[in-house]
Amino acid sequence: MTTRRNFIKNTAFIAGSIPFMSLAETRTNSKIKGKPIVVSTWDFGKVANQEAWKILSSRGSALDAVEKGVMLVESDPTQMSVGLAGLPDRDGHPTLDACIMKGNGDCGSVVFLEHIMHPISVARGVMEKTPHVMLAGEGAQQFAINTLGMKKETIINPKSQEAYKEWLKKSEYAPIINIENHDTIGMIAMDANGLFAGACTTSGLAFKMHGRVGDSPIIGAGLFVDEDAGAVTSTGHGEEVIRIAGSHLVAELMRNGMSPEKACKTAVERVYKRKKDNIKNIQVGFIAISLEGEVGAYGVHKGFTYSVKTDSIDEIFQGKFLIE
C-alpha cells in the first residue's frame, strides 16, 4: 500500500524547476466515468468508498454516502491523520476540521473541534440545523453535544502518542509544512440521480500551532461542490490550497469547459508557480468529478494516490504529477 510516508520517501526532489512539457506522467486514469461514482483521496479512500457505495448502489443520496464514507476513517483508531486518533498539535491536542457540501450550495463546516468522534456529522449538523456555515472550537463542541447529542470522547492511539513524544524531544517550531506530517480524506460523489456532494475531514497538520486551521474545512479551498460545475476536494498543504482557493478554482475551470484532470493540473501549476523555490516541501493534490461523471486528479509530487468506486471499478490510482 502506498502510504503518505512511503510517498515522502519515494519523492525525489529535482532541484530547480522542471519545464511542464517534460514533467513525468504516470499511468493514466482519465476517461474513468461513472454514475453513481465516488472518489476519495489516498489509499484509505478505498474502504471509505466501499462504505459510501453501500448507499450509492441502493440509490441513496450522495450526501449520505460521503458522510458515512468518511466516518469510517474518522473512527479508525489506527488512523494518524484523520479523527481523534490523529497526530496532535504542538500542545498535545488532536484538533479536528471538517466540511460537507451539496451541489445546491448548502454547506457546513467545523474547525478546531476537540473530543468529538465525527466532525463530519457536526459539519452536516451546522448545515442542516443552523443558519450558519461554520462553527469553531468550544462552540462547535457545545453544538455537537447539546444539539446533536454527541458525547465527548478520546481515542488513545499509541502510535500517535509515540510520534508526539518523539517530536517533543526537539519540539522544533518550524512553521514549514513538512510533507511527512499530514493527510486528509476528501470524498466526492455523484449519486444515481445525478446529484453531487462532498465531504472533507482531517486532524490537519501534525504538531501544528494550537488553533491552526488548514484548507480542509474551508468551503472553496478544501472542498467545493456545484451542480453546474462538478465536485472537487483537495489534500496536502492547506495554506497553499487556501491561497489559491483551490477547490473552487478547479470547479470554475470545469464550469468553463475544462476536463477535470486539466482543471486539477492547472490548480496544481498555480501552487507550483507561487512556491517553485520551495516546492520540495510542498505537496498538494486535487481530485474532481465533472458533470458527466468523469474523474480527474493531479498532484504536485509523485505519490499522490486516490481511490475510485463505480459499479465496475474499485481501485486505487496513482495521480499524475508535476514533479517526480
Binding stretches for ligand ASP (CB under 6 A): 182-184, 202, 204-205, 214-216, 235-236, 238
| 232-252 burial code (b ≥16 CB/10 A, e <16) | bbbbbbbbbbbebbbbbbbbb
Q: How far is the CB of 272 from ligand ASP (least distance, A)?
A: 17
| 3-class secondary-structure state, position 97 | strand
Say which residues have a Cβ less than 8 Å from residue 45's Cβ, sequence separation at least 6. 39, 185, 187, 306, 307, 316
Instruction: For the CB of residue 222, give the shortest distance to ligand ASP in the complex, in Å.
Output: 6
CB of 41 to ligand ASP, least distance (A): 7
Identity of the residue, 278 or 312, whose beta carbon is nearer to ligand ASP in the bound complex: 278
Strands 320-323 and 295-301: parallel
**Residue written as grid cell 493534490:** 285
Min separation Cβ 110 and ligand ASP, Å: 13
Is the Cβ of residue 258 or residue 322 nearer to ligand ASP in the bound state? 322
Residue 56 or 85: the one with the smaller Cβ distance to ligand ASP is 85
The region, left, alpha or beta by phi > 0 then psi within -120 to 50, assigned to residue 236 is left
Q: How many angstroms separate the Cα of 176 from the Cα of each of 18, 83, 205, 211, 257?
A: 22, 23, 10, 16, 35
* Closest by CA position to 202, among listed 221, 219, 222: 222
Adjacency order of strands within the sheet including 134-136:
134-136, 107-113, 96-102, 196-202, 185-190, 37-41, 305-309, 314-318
Give whichever of 143 and 304 is closer to ligand ASP, judged by the CB atom.
304
Shortest separation between residue 236's beta carbon and ligand ASP, angstroms = 5
Coil, helix or strand at residue 136: strand
Taking CB positions, which residue lies at the least distance from ligand ASP? Answer: 238
Q: So which residues are the catalytic ones?
A: 184
Distance CA 177, CA 57 (A): 39
Cβ closest to ligand ASP, residue 71 vs residue 200: 200
Our CB check for ligand ASP shows the closer of 29 and 235 to be 235
For the bound state, the minimum distance from the C-beta of residue 172 to ligand ASP, rounded and expressed in Å, comes to: 18
List CB contacts of 281: < 8 A, sequence separation 6 or more.
176, 177, 178, 179
How far apart CA 24 and CA 18 sit, in angstroms, is 10
